[in-house]
Structure 1
């Protein structure tokens, strides 16, 4: 038997052709084959992403995390489109986190669709070519005379046809094409249609879908950890007598991040934690309150501290002073929690060198590396079984893999028993890794034509990665609103202190869009021009053709410029992030001193729309997520201690507060771009600009609070 036949023959076990190598334990299986005189399995002719069963079902292996965004359906559609598979007989499974087997397994930056666009289509096209070759060989027909539709290969000249299932073994013997010929967009039958809808709705609706919190394994223990209430605090001492007295508590011990309580049940673990007596060493902890930090950020932006900035955009004579007629703008934005519905959790079993992880892992490759480091083993000895996650918004993608590392350290002590680590809602909201607190300060001189002539912009926020500042300035850097300015002086300041920060849905764009779009509306108001007309002139000057198209469609779809009932106003924002342009118009009025949003019209240019239905769903979710933050979201510190512990104080949008959201997609033949995050940044400035139209008062800080009250400006100094 040849090496190639060993690989392909092995994949036909059980009557299914597995396109690619998908063993759950690649290193162990490879070792067994070597001991038996065989060779370690190599990637098959199609790569690791497709399985086709003897019953004709096509299974797409999804290496991305499915955390509610519905990406699995779009990825499966890419394969099915090029394979010409029967969409009703396509399903999706999650890939095991096998180190190196699928390439990097990272779900971040709204990149899942874009990063897999060529790869998955090529895999589908290669599989199709092999089925065509098998049919051509069987019938003695030229391959170019054959067609494929809904998993059936047909010879239109002779009338013969054969299903994928009947051709399966012959297809496995074919030599894969050296290069895949992909369809042109005009030839798509599935991509871009409303048929591409998520395939996990039934399981989620009936409760059949298994999340990490659902797992109950034989012999499994549950753990919780008591952590310092102040960031940077360390364990000084603890008394575990009370905890050990709680029925069901198995063990109590210190780990690097605090004190772990391990028990037979979640209830016992939490009760045991309550009974702990702990002394914390806060000498290196953050002890300031939010107003103090906000004042410090303002001092930094105005150059009253020793912190040195980094330039992100420089044009013209930036050293020249701005004149007395320069307009000054200031905006304060708070820390924000991710607050997914499923709080952090994972299950780990450590058996010598081997580590088994079950988790809604957002970055399986990073988790494998960090788990290996914590267990003192090799990444290839770590298996990550990826489950769907009940939301993330970036929290499960922490590079330190904090929750997982804690669980590995605990499981190492439990002698091969699986351990589930649970973060309660209080742990989740007070445990750190927030959207950074940020301060924007801009000084702008308008030219005689009313457009920016000189623009100085300072952004202050903690850096998300060591020595990396680009996330802090994204959304400001390269803005088309700088197009008319002969001087641009853009700087970022990244203070370093113990509050941990992390990527939050739309990252730096989540605060930069608010700053840029609200400043531009104030320019329009100052010059007596319509905000849409003002933007259009700037976009034309910058050659921002995609923004122009979105703006024009947004005006048409929203009824911009037409009258509304008394007390209502429209606000507009247009922003580009993750290579996607989104424009939104919000209809707003003030009720009991607070903004109420009844309707949001959104226009999006995200390249080829793989799944229009899911794009609309993402826009609706993004608006709800962004509105929650804009209206209510703030993590605040008092003497360094987080004050928001649950949803009673960290409010999210309620169903009766949610606006109607209309989504319109710009037709495009460009490759797909991001969609999971770009709908978030425009909603806050769209609402702020509607408030500006209603009251004439700019928004100086978020969340909005009571419109026109001191609470909306209590952290801000001078502002226009």
Structure 2
């Protein structure tokens, strides 16, 4: 009932309006040809597909490439349906129309338990909620790359757009040759007929533009030639040769460079500054005071003829800082506040089944544990940057962003122009991980550009500014309580967590016009706790939402990243308390969750679970579902000179239909390294509002010599594609922590892991 109330509140205050609107047909995502960029000689067939003179296919690409291989995978869908070589598909940045918005990401925010739809048709309430929220998402058209949702969102629209384009081209050829369309075959972008007539797509594009084919369908699974095959990523050659354009690679005629110098105190501002020393440096052009845009921190930007000149000037400018009016952030105080909140507040109930209080009263044994996770930085390889030009009432920006429309909106707000006067060029991203869902650096760049007399300026942050002015993964605490009967069987599980809610803070920063006046319960705070697959009869999962004052944002796998450590570590505790093997204990409670059990068994089998290991090594296992995918991991761990060493990680994943198995393996490997870095080293400390970690020596990553061997095993599936970029992050910390328990007998309940 509480979840239903939340949903209705989120959809609108006037129920009749929502219901009336909700029964209307969903907006089509095919789009009209006019949405495509008008280029000489190219013919647009719908809002996604253009055909070039030479027969090449041009695809409108609405998602950002940040190393996850999405540009290759989405192009593969189009190449498959059109029967063209992947090399013949070219990408063009999509416009701002709502058809390019990310529907799946918003639908995934609904707080439903994944097992509610396991093994059959989804209940009516879920289908209705997804229908209404999906319609809302189509209207809003929020274009964002995040939530491991790109393939889930575009799987149907892109294939249908390509299938429609193919049918139009074939129909045009059939009309020109006076033959039945069914007798025309397509291979490698060439249409052929048994009579010997043939033409490539470019020959028929103009005629196809007016075609209206009927009964269009996408290819049957058994006819796929490209989907499901490991395929070389199309973006790799340009990255190897240095031709790929990241944000910091942008170069424009007359371009200036700017370096940021922000208040060392989070949310602080510059009250006054002495620019004399900075302006005396040869090559320094200007010093601009910068406001706190997009929830960020204020400061000054020094403009120079090169980035070196700008950074020298930034070090020389003397600034008097003004602290925020609110209490200065301090991690020790925040941790104490979270513990108090856990002990005194009931929080919002995300999931309840059975009668937990009754089971707790009848318990023969109770097991309690407190888990905690620290703030984390994103630490993208490419620090925040944006190139901007403000000239003749127009704004043009070049940015590595995950949210081009929100970047456009921020640029328009700062420059005080209409949105249609802003052009956004999305470069490749040197890492995103959720940090580039923010637009603070966009606002800074545009404000600097406004002071540069029409010249373009590239604003960039140093590594230290990037690390100390992030939107951090929140600090979270969670209390676990399990009841056991006199036979040692688990009869109930109660989980209460506490920590800042990300989504309301992000919406207020990035899209204030879409953010309501009241905070709604945030699924990301409790995901990985309220949605466990284990069949304990009585369960109660709640979360206490807090406001620490620390800027928090989406971090790779979001709440799952720490909640999986909490939950899968505690599941191991229950196995130990009941004197059962961790694998056997999990399988016993997964009898009603066969997909989860299958993934767990595959990982265990491939890791040779239960077989002897060399002396001084131990295995740990963990299972977690996130972004529609189920991942199990087995980690082999030892201690070398008092340090944790992870030798091998075996991953099994069920992510639905797989487009490019090679990319899945790459993302499993990437996720393990990213998650392992956080598990072993990740921690942001804040004292007096000042972040203490400033660069990789104090915020280390897993090095090449420390990296484990990672094996990936994919469960065959015919389900709709699910997420790949994030689901392997959550299980690594508990898998390693559980291995450490097997090795040392000491239970790790806090991150980062220590020995």
Question: TM (normalized to structure 2)?
Answer: 0.84
**2:160 alignment partner in structure 1:** 122
- Per-residue deviation, 1:548: 1.4
Query: In the aligned structure 1, how far is the partner of 2:322 from the partner of 2:610?
Result: 60
Q: Runs of 4+ in structure 1 displaced over 6 angstroms?
A: 319-324
Shift of residue 283 of structure 1?
5.4
Paired position in structure 2 for 1:508? 559
* Other-structure match for 1:496: 547
The reply on whether 1:239 has 2:274 as its aligned counterpart is yes
Deviations 1:504-562 (CA, angstroms, capped at 9, x unpaired): 0000000111011110011111111111111111111xx21210111121122111111
Matched-pair contact (CA < 8 Å) for 2:364–2:485: no
| 1:263-412 mapped onto 2 (5 Å cutoff) | 263-282=304-323, 284=325, 286-303=327-344, 309-316=347-354, 325-398=365-438, 401-412=439-450
Match of 1:578 in 2: 627
- Which string of whole-angstrom CA distances, capped at 9 and with x for unpartnered residues, describes residues 302-342 of structure 1? 22xxx662222234556677679421111111111111111
Say if 2:530 and 2:542, in contact at 8 Å, map to a contact too. Answer: no
Closer, same or farther in 2 for the Cα pair 1:520/1:260, shift >3 Å? Answer: same
Equivalents in 2 of 1:101, 1:529: separation in Å?
51
Distance of aligned partners of 1:227 and 1:319 in 2 relative to their CA distance in 1, 3 Å threshold: farther
What CA RMSD, in Å, does the superposition of the two structures yield over aligned residues? 2.3
- Asked whether the equivalents of residues 361 and 389 of structure 1 are also in contact (C-alpha less than 8 Å), the reply is yes
User: Which of 233-242 and 284-293 deviates more?
Assistant: 284-293
Whether 1:475 and 2:528 are equivalent positions in the alignment is yes
Shift of 1:144: 1.4
Alpha-carbon separation, structure 2, partners of 1:393 and 1:445: 38
Determine helix, strand or coil for the equivalent of 1:380: helix
Q: Does 1:87 align with 2:86?
A: yes
Query: Are the counterparts in 2 of residues 232 and 285 from structure 1 also a CA contact under 8 Å?
Result: no
Q: Which residue among 176, 179, 199 is the counterpart of 1:162? A: 199
The worse-fitting range, judged by mean Cα deviation, of 214-223 and 287-296 is 287-296
> Could you say if the C-alpha distance between residues 209 and 581 of structure 1 is closer, same or farther in structure 2, counting changes exceeding 3 Å?
same
**Residue 417 of structure 1 is aligned with which of 440, 455, 468?**
455
Give 5+ residue unaligned stretches, structure 2.
1-31, 102-140, 292-297, 505-518
Kindly indicate whether residue 35 of structure 2 is the aligned counterpart of residue 21 of structure 1. Answer: yes
1:183 aligns with 2:219: yes
Conserved 8 A contact 2:624-2:632: yes
Cα deviation 1:197-250 (Å, max 9, x = unaligned): 210111100111111211221222212222221123233322222222222222
Q: In the alignment, is the contact (CA less than 8 A) between 2:72 and 2:233 conserved in 1?
A: yes
Distance 1:260 1:24 in 2: 37
Query: Is 1:536 equivalent to 2:587 in the alignment?
Result: yes
SS of residue in 1 equivalent to 2:151: helix
3-state SS in 1 of match to 2:552: coil
Question: Measured at CA, do residues 83 and 537 of structure 1 come closer, stay the same or move farther in structure 2, by a change above 3 Å?
Answer: same
Q: Aligned partners of 1:670, 1:648: CA distance in 2, in Å?
A: 44
Which SS does the other structure have where 2:630 is aligned? strand
For structure 1, which segment, 364-373 or 621-630, has the greater mean C-alpha deviation from structure 2 after superposition?
Answer: 364-373
- What residue in structure 2 maps to residue 11 of structure 1? none
Helix, strand or coil at the partner of 2:64: coil
Change (3 A) 1:646 1:287: same
Separation in 1, partners of 2:236, 2:74:
16
Of residues 491, 506, 514, the one that matches 1:453 is: 491
Superposed CA deviations along residues 670-719 of structure 1, whole A, max 9, x for unmatched, are 111111111110111111111111111111211113x1xxxxxxxxxxxx
CA distance in 2, matches of 1:88, 1:547: 37
Structure 1 residues without counterparts, runs of 5 or longer: 1-17, 30-42, 708-720
CA distance in 2, matches of 1:280, 1:75: 47
Distance 1:100 1:378, change over 3 A: farther
Name the counterpart of 2:502. Answer: 464
Is residue 233–residue 280 contact of structure 1 (8 Å, CA) maintained in 2?
yes
What secondary structure sits across from 2:502 in the alignment? coil
Say which is worse superposed, 469-478 or 242-251, in terms of deviation: 242-251
Matches within 5 A, 1:124-139: 124-139=162-177
Tell me the secondary structure at the aligned position of residue 614 of structure 1. Answer: helix
Residue-by-residue CA offset, 1:43-76 (whole Å, 9 max, x unaligned): 9873232232222322323110001111011100
Deviations 1:240-286, CA, capped at 9 Å, x for gaps? 22222222222223221122222222112211121222222325355
Deviation at 1:143, TM superposition (A): 1.1
Label 1:653 to 1:452 Cα distance change in 2 as closer, same or farther (>3 A).
Answer: same
2:611 maps to which residue? Answer: 562
Could you tell me how far apart the structure 2 residues matched to 1:208 and 1:44 are? 28
Count of residues in Structure 1 that have an aligned counterpart in Structure 2: 660
Partner of residue 8, structure 2: none
CA separation in 2, counterparts of 1:673 and 1:451? 34
Give the deviation of 1:118 after TM superposition: 0.7
Match of 1:703 in 2: 752
What is the match of residue 34 of structure 1?
Answer: none
Deviation of 1:449 after TM superposition, in Å, equals 4.8
Q: Secondary structure in 1 aligned to 2:401?
A: coil
- Cα distance 1:349–1:99, how it changes in 2: closer, same or farther (>3 A)? farther
* Contact 1:46-1:176 within 8 A present in 2 as well: no
Q: CA shift at 1:159, angstroms?
A: 4.7
Distance (whole Å) between structure 2 residues aligned to residue 406 and residue 475 of structure 1: 35
Rate the CA distance shift 1:694–1:343 in 2: closer, same or farther, 3 A.
same
Show CA shifts across 1:426-484 (max 9, x none): 01000120111111111211234544322221111111022242110011113123x22
